[in-house]
Structure 1
Amino acid sequence: MHTPDPAPGPAHPLRVAVVGTGNIARYHVEALQALSGDAVVVAAADVNPDALAVFTDRYGIPERFTDLDRMLGEVRPDLVHLCTPPGLHHGQALACLRAGVNALVEKPPALSLAELEDMAAAEGPQGPYVATLFQHRFGSGARRVRALVESGGLGRPLLAVCHTLWFRDQAYFDVPWRGRWDTEGGGPTMGHGIHQMDLLLALLGDWTEVSATARRQARVMETEDLSLAHVAFANGAVASVVNSVLSPREESYIRLDFERATVELRHLYGYGDSDWTLTPAPGFEEAAAAAWAAGESGVASGHHAQIAQVLAALRAKEPPPVTTADALRTLRLVAGLYASAAQRRTVTPAELRRGSRYYDRMHGGGTPWQSR
């Protein structure tokens, strides 16, 4: 999980534009404006001119557009933040790349493996690039745990738990583009739990097989409203993964049981150092505590942490994190979970290549979920 360390601000900050002015866009703009020595927001685009006017006035953004291609042609930013619904990401990212502009895409980066590989193929060897916003990788707690996995400081990882237990009522899914395969690419597995699953993969590395179930348990929608999975990893660890939008007591939870300690993370939408806990195994109290204390600290997860790294990478002319290769590993696990649930069998990454039913569409062309 290497990321470049943020460098001092350049003489000329990177010129950034934001596409989509809904709720998530404010996190991007506020992070960018906090990094004002490194970036300046020069334009915003949205098909809703009223929402666009309110957004640009609020944040003092000088240029506004209702057409992405026109914005790319007239403004030619260095980086575009795509804060639009998932069904628009593929076409908008390709438009940016064709214009020679880097793109940072909100999760999920695309509706399918086919779309994301198409985006990856359109990148240049020295850019432009596409990065995905998976900010939970960038808090110091995650970087500390990854370093311990790589060094073996807590022994081998043996068992993991990865739960995204959130609550969304029926009104949330009554919004026309939500809970649909053609606009969101899936339910909570794709649109909610993907953050925690990406963090799990960033910590444990490549996955080797998944066995899952998915159901439409309570909400009226096309997609699942919960999923459960068993995931095996190349390093020998196994994990339990649950994704739900039916859980009144909401929690995002990661647990890693190593040979010498248990590491836990409890939060909801973002974490700080205090949200991580270490429980040493008997006989390893001093060694585990010393290994934990030696790690990074002081950085909360969030848009600011990742965007700082994206800007640093672009200034260094390197691929910005999270790369399309990283995002593909995570999206392939999502596809594997759906494929396993639909076919009621174990699925491996090698099966989810071009030609697979689940490569082009997460639901494989059917509507397989059981309802209660």
Structure 2
Amino acid sequence: MLRYKRFGFYCLHAGILCICIAMFGACKKEDHAEQPATRNHYELINTGSVWDMSTQTYRPCYWLNEEIHWLELPEAKNGFAYGLQLDKSNMYIAGSFENAEGQTLPCYWKNNEKINLPTSNLFPFTFCTTKDIIVRNHTTYILGSADWIPVLWIIDAQGGIKHMYVDSSFVTQNIRSRSATFEMAGGKLYIGGDKRIKVNRRYESQVGYWTIDAALHTNWHIVEDHLAYATAFNLVIANEKIFITGERSIDFGGATFPTPALWNSAGNIPLSGLDNLAAYRFGEVHTDRQGNLLLNVFDFMTHKALILSLSRQGEVLKRIEPIIPGDRSYCSSIAVNNDSTAFVGYTINNSGYSVWSYSGNKLTSLQTPPNGGVIIASAEWKKLP
């Protein structure tokens, strides 16, 4: 999540706001490589939001292959669609909406029906949103945040909803926590994230992950600490190994920019084969059949779509660089299955924004309203009956 799984990149009509969003599900992020898409067996779905020039609002949507479909948005001013989960014949999309008073609130869509999520157990907040979603054994898990503090909603088979803070240490210890994406393995949820903690007279950052068991007991596992700055973007579990992408800095003086980072459960993995690291940002992370890592990358240097194949030791093995016509192009999401890999992204031209998918060396333009900005979030392959 981030497939945003999705970490996509947000592209606003007034500029570019880059956030990595990804999807989850350990079984979906293993065993894939760049191969031709078997479109007679699968359809490509990706989520996002489009700026509507006529109403001056964002409209949540998804693309089924090339065609855009609008999500239901009653009583709301703006809407945003993020994490995507396909479960049998059902489609679930995590997101948020802005009400008439201008407050951002959490919701999700099930087969285009918008369902608002409760916030009654939370402290007063400025905004609250969701971004990732997992469906397992008739239970739906939705990850989001309230003023960046991680929040988890759990919806049972009867529609009953619980919600809780993932980490309540901010209440008693003034610790700022943020979540990345999450996955489920061995009956536990694994949520990537980072923390900002005051140590003596300075603030330090930690990167790690939370685990939440069936009894909703939460534990924080540190993979690297004593950092000047750190942000976790995306987490994947592959062959019982945890990988987290993000960025980090050890410069407490602030003289250098943060650089992209890759961690496993043992700590930071040194990267090799990339010049000028500060020019890149990592997004989603997946694994291929050989056990290597596949990452979509935001390239500040060339502003061209870029996907990297990395060894688990952090060495660049291959650069995948789709040729996308236009001034600036960015890969936002990756959809994967055992047969196919697709990259989804957007391009900025003088005439506005366009959305595309790239699979099997084939570039496909997706339906995009004219003159509007776009937010591309998550992508999945849907297997046909």
Give me the TM-score of the superposition, normalised by structure 1. Answer: 0.31
Give me the TM-score of the superposition, normalised by structure 2. Answer: 0.30
Which protein has greater RCO, CA pairs closer than 8 Å, 6+ apart? 2
Larger proportion of helix: 1
Larger proportion of strand: 2
